[in-house]
Amino acid sequence: MADFLDVIIVGEVNLDLILYGLEESIPLDREILATGFEMTLGSSSAILAHNLAVLGRRVGFVTRYGSDAMGQIAMERLTEGGVETSRSIKCGESAKTGVSILLPHGSSRRILTYPGAMFAMTVEDLDLEYLASARHFHLSSLFLLRGLHAGLPALVRELKRRGLTVSLDTNDDPDNRWNGVLRELLPFVDILLPNENEILAMTSSGTLEQALDRLSGQVPLIAVKCGRRGAVVQQGRHRFVAQPLAVNPVDTIGAGDSFNAGFLTAWLAGAAAESCARAGNITGAFSTLKPGGTEAFRDRAAVTAFLRTHRFHGSV
Ligand SMILES: Nc1ncnc2c1ncn2[C@@H]1O[C@H](COP(=O)(O)OP(=O)(O)OP(=O)(O)O)[C@@H](O)[C@H]1O
Ligand SMILES: [Mg+2]
């Protein structure tokens, strides 16, 4: 099966526990009642793997998870989505699967994460031949994959040497430092997929224009996710805005990962940057219509209908 993979993603897996309807300010020592609850496959890497597979890409996902119920449910969801998980590692009793508790407050939200078993993954856990059997390598949540940092630049350099292309969505840096392994990896990255806050932080810039000016010489293709304003893309010297779809979101959790899924699907099909950004806006918007980042994509008929309506580029 490994011979036929389009994309390999090495990354974290967890369930998202989403509590709706809570006030932004939460008092101590009180019982606080949410108005709604969802438990769904979460984590940037796993959401992308799941949604890319639903969009028709052949995806291999390598992670570490605990031998607990949360890990079992998360891995089942990935398999149902069509993701190849044979190289993922089930850890012993002492390791727990990661978990995130999310509190959406309108367009903002709190995310509380226990990274769990994935924190301990190192490059020694990875099979280079398996990774190199794909066309494309993607990393999400770079700053959560701490155990991987030591060997990652050499690994990615080797994958590039073997002809793979590489994309990166760092997501947030919990330490807010934005350096170290990121600086070492950038020279090997073909596509960078940050949101607006992230690109400002990683370039110490005050405006998006300045941030793109600073990075455009280092990364050939940058798609910046701007929530309800769509995306801004820089390819070499060419910069353009990709307009969003008009939707009424349930929540925007995982919209960025779903944008990545659409963008990469079109890119792997050979589409121009404009079509890739449009594809990302379609799948990002679609994700907001159901809770979390994967629920919308579990309804295959709804996926097909939405993509058809919006003329998504790439086969499904
Ligand atoms: N309210 C919205 N209306 C239309 N499209 C949206 C909306 N919110 C998000 N999107 C789509 O989803 C994409 C990604 O959203 P966003 O900018 O929130 O990414 P993100 O911050 O990386 O999200 P996350 O990391 O939580 O997945 C946007 O570029 C846009 O295409
Ligand atoms: Mg993101």
- The rounded Å distance from CA 169 to ligand 1 centre is 13
Question: Rounded to whole angstroms, how far apart are CA atoms 165 and 188?
Answer: 9
Please report the atom of ligand 1 found closest to the CA of residue 194. 22
Question: Tens of pLDDT along 162-182?
Answer: 999 999 999 999 999 999 999
The DSSP symbol for 195 reads B
β-bridge pairing 108-114 and 98-105 = antiparallel
Tokens of 63: 């992670």
Phi-psi region of 163 (alpha: psi -120 to 50; beta: other; left: phi over 0): left
Give the model's pLDDT for residue 93: 86
Mean pLDDT of 25-51: 96
Nearest CA to ligand 1 atom 17: 227
* Residue 107: pLDDT over 80: no
57 — phi, psi (to 5°)?
-80, 155
* Residue 1: pLDDT over 80: no
Ligand whose nearest atom lies closest to the CA of 281: 1
* Residue 214: pLDDT over 90: yes
Nearest CA to ligand 1 atom 14: 256
Mean pLDDT of 19-48: 95
Question: Rounded to whole angstroms, how far apart are CA atoms 290 and 171?
Answer: 21
Nearest CA among 249, 230, 244 for reference residue 290: 249
Sign of the alpha-carbon torsion through 102, 170, 313, 300: negative
Confidence of residue 314 (pLDDT cuts 50, 70, 90): low
**What domains does the chain contain, in order, with CATH numbers?**
2-309 (3.40.1190.20)
Mean pLDDT of 87-96: 93
Please report the atom of ligand 1 found closest to the CA of residue 287. 12
Give the model's pLDDT for residue 2: 46
pLDDT > 70: percent of the chain: 98
Tokens of 72: 């079992």
> What is the CA 178 to chain-centroid distance, rounded?
18
Phi-psi region of 22 (alpha: psi -120 to 50; beta: other; left: phi over 0): beta
Question: Rounded to whole angstroms, how far apart are CA atoms 189 and 152?
Answer: 12
Question: Rounded to whole angstroms, how far apart are CA atoms 215 and 222?
Answer: 8
Question: Tens of pLDDT along 55-73?
Answer: 999 999 999 999 999 999 9
Alpha helices in the chain (DSSP H): 44-54, 69-81, 128-132, 152-161, 181-185, 196-203, 208-215, 255-268, 273-287, 300-309
Question: Tens of pLDDT along 201-213?
Answer: 999 999 999 999 9
**pTM for this prediction:** 0.96
| Other Cβ atoms within 10 Å of 287 Cβ, number | 31
Nearest CA to ligand 1 atom 22: 256
Nearest CA to ligand 1 atom 18: 227
Nearest CA among 5, 9, 269, 11 for reference residue 134: 5
Residue 207 identity: T
Q: By three-state DSSP, how is residue 173 classified? A: coil
Residue of 144, 195, 245 to test ligand 1 pocket, by largest number of atoms within 8 Å of CB: 195
Please report the atom of ligand 1 found closest to the CA of residue 293. 27
Question: Rounded to whole angstroms, how far apart are CA atoms 81 and 97?
Answer: 19
Residues having CB within 6 Å of any atom of ligand 1: 171, 195, 225-228, 230-231, 244-245, 247, 249, 252-257, 259, 280-281, 284-285, 288
